[in-house]
């Protein structure tokens, strides 16, 4: 009901609509409408009331509420269901619980803040309230589990494209999936999977985009190594619009890999790569070495030319 009231207000944004008209439309009392309006105002919607003219929506809160996200959604599959938290430990944890309980493919989980945001290799991820996009997407692909790790490269390409289209900022991808701008990290991606030997139950793709964090707001240890879109461009970015663009790009990449395989997107990944051609240090699971990053193979593994020949890196930390 609250969504329907909001929808009507939105359809006349900036103009009045009478309580009577809303009540008639939704077949409820004017008192019920008034209560919904009061709740919407409490959530942060700017609604002016006039005794004779009714209500007018003048502004919406900078929150990734399901109603807000859905009002700008351009994707069909991703964002079918939007689950929103003001604070949670990690959207990936919430998404995994929802997926295990049968959530439909395309469900997304967003939180204004994460109090235990998780990164790759058991690291934390800084996720302050309403300053970024802390997002997890549930997928249920038909491909075999061994292909899942490539989703992370695919996501990096999709998010890089979305950022470029929405802000004009061209970023680079550090293998496998960190998105960088001028040597500082802007986006992190953490993909998790639940599978049987031969079938994927679900994949959760976690994406953290630093959007409106002022450079000085990063903790001391991140100051020199992290950045945000606002810090780069000098402008505050509309988070829900960027989220909508990310979902469009990710959906189109996902449909492409389901239909035609990974080759095309892996080639696109190469055009955004800031790792290929560079001297790298690799801290792998059981060894550390250096060499020149030459290419990625069809599994998304990094091929590093060393003194002892070509090493194939499937997981680990690569520094440039
Ligand atoms: C990394 O930098 O190593 C990956 C960071 C991934 C962060 C995102 S934010 C949304 C989702 N929830 C998490 O706890 N992590 C991912």
- Distance of CA 247 from the midpoint of ligand 1 (Å): 16
Pocket test for ligand 1, best of 91, 114, 125 (most atoms within 8 A of CB): 125
Residue 28: pLDDT band (50, 70, 90) is: very high
**Mean pLDDT score of the chain, rounded to an integer?**
95
Pocket test for ligand 1, best of 153, 188, 246 (most atoms within 8 A of CB): 188
Residues with CB under 6 A from ligand 1: 90-92, 114, 117-120, 123, 125, 127, 134-136, 188-190, 206-208
In ligand 1, the atom with minimum distance to the C-alpha of 116 is 14
pLDDT for the residue 170? 97
Q: List, for residues 168-225, the tens digit of each pLDDT value.
A: 999 999 999 999 999 999 999 999 999 999 999 999 999 999 999 999 999 999 999 9
Q: List, for residues 130-139, the tens digit of each pLDDT value.
A: 999 999 999 9
Separation CA 174–CA 238 (nearest Å): 26
Atom 16 of ligand 1 has which residue's CA nearest to it?
206
Separation CA 183–CA 206 (nearest Å): 22
> Which residue in this structure is represented by tokens 């491909």?
143
119 is in an annotated binding site: yes
Rg (CA), the chain: 22
First and final C-alpha spacing in the chain: 53
- Distance of CA 26 from the midpoint of ligand 1 (Å): 41
Output the six-digit token pair for 29.
């009392």
CB contact burial 46-83 (16+ within 10 A = b; e otherwise): ebeeeeeebbbbeebeebbbbbbbbeebebeebbbbbb
- Distance of CA 119 from the midpoint of ligand 1 (Å): 5
Burial of 173 (0-12, 13-18, 19+ CB in 10 A): buried
Residue 89: pLDDT band (50, 70, 90) is: very high
pLDDT for the residue 317? 87
Burial of 197 (0-12, 13-18, 19+ CB in 10 A): exposed
Residue 1: pLDDT band (50, 70, 90) is: confident
Q: List, for residues 49-62, the tens digit of each pLDDT value.
A: 998 999 999 999 99
> Which residue in this structure is represented by tokens 């639940």?
194
pLDDT for the residue 316? 85
Percent of the chain with pLDDT over 90: 93
Q: Beta strands 82-88 and 108-114: pairing type?
A: parallel
- Distance of CA 267 from the midpoint of ligand 1 (Å): 25
**Does 320 have pLDDT greater than 90?**
no
Domains in the chain (CATH in brackets) are 2-59 (1.10.10.10), 66-272 (3.30.930.10), 279-319 (2.30.30.100)
Residue-by-residue DSSP string for the chain: -HHHHHHHHHHTTTS-B-HHHHHHHHTS-HHHHHHHHHHHHHHT-EEEEETTTEEEEEE--SS--HHHHHHH---SSTTSSEEEEEEES-HHHHHHHHHHTTPPTT-EEEEEEESS-B-GGG-B----TTSEEEEEEEE--SS-GGGTTHHHHHHHHHHHHHHHHHH----EEETTTEEEETTEEEEEEEEEEEE-SS-EEEEEEEEEEE-S--GGGS-GGGTTTB--HHHHHSS---HHHHHHHHHHHHHHHHHHHHHH-SHHHHHHHHHHBSSTTSEEEEE-SS-EEEEEEEEE-TT--EEEEETTEEEEESSSEEE-
**Does 285 have pLDDT greater than 90?**
no
């Amino acid at each position: 009901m609250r969504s329907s009231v909001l929808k009507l207000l939105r359809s006349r944004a900036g103009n009045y609509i009478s309580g009577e008209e809303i009540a008639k439309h939704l077949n409820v009392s004017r008192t019920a409408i008034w209560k919904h309006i009061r709740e919407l105002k409490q959530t942060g919607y700017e609604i002016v009331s006039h005794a004779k003219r009714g209500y007018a929506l003048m502004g919406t809160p900078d929150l990734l509420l399901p109603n807000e996200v859905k009002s700008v959604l351009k994707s069909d599959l991703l964002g079918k269901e939007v689950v929103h938290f003001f604070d949670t430990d990690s959207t990936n944890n919430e998404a995994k619980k929802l997926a295990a309980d049968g959530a439909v493919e395309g469900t997304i989980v967003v939180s204004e803040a994460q109090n235990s945001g998780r990164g790759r290799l058991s690291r934390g991820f800084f996720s302050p309230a309403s300053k970024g996009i802390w997002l997890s997407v549930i997928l249920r692909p038909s491909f075999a589990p061994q292909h899942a790790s490539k989703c992370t490269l695919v996501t990096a390409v999709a998010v890089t494209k979305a950022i470029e289209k929405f802000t004009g900022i061209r970023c680079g991808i550090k293998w496998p999936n960190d998105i960088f701008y001028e040597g500082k990290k802007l986006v992190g991606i953490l993909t998790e999977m639940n599978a049987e030997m031969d079938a994927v139950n679900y994949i959760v793709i976690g994406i953290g985009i630093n959007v409106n964090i002022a450079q000085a707001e990063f903790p001391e240890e991140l100051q020199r190594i992290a950045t945000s879109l606002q810090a780069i461009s000098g402008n505050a970015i509309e988070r829900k619009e960027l989220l909508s663009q990310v979902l469009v790009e990710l959906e189109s990449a996902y449909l492409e890999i389901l239909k035609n395989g990974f080759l095309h997107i892996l080639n696109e990944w190469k055009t955004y790569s800031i790792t290929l051609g560079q001297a790298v240090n690799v801290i792998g699971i059981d060894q550390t070495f250096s060499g020149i990053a030459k290419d990625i193979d069809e599994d998304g593994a990094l091929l590093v030319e060393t003194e002892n020949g070509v090493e194939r890196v499937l997981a680990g930390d690569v520094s440039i």
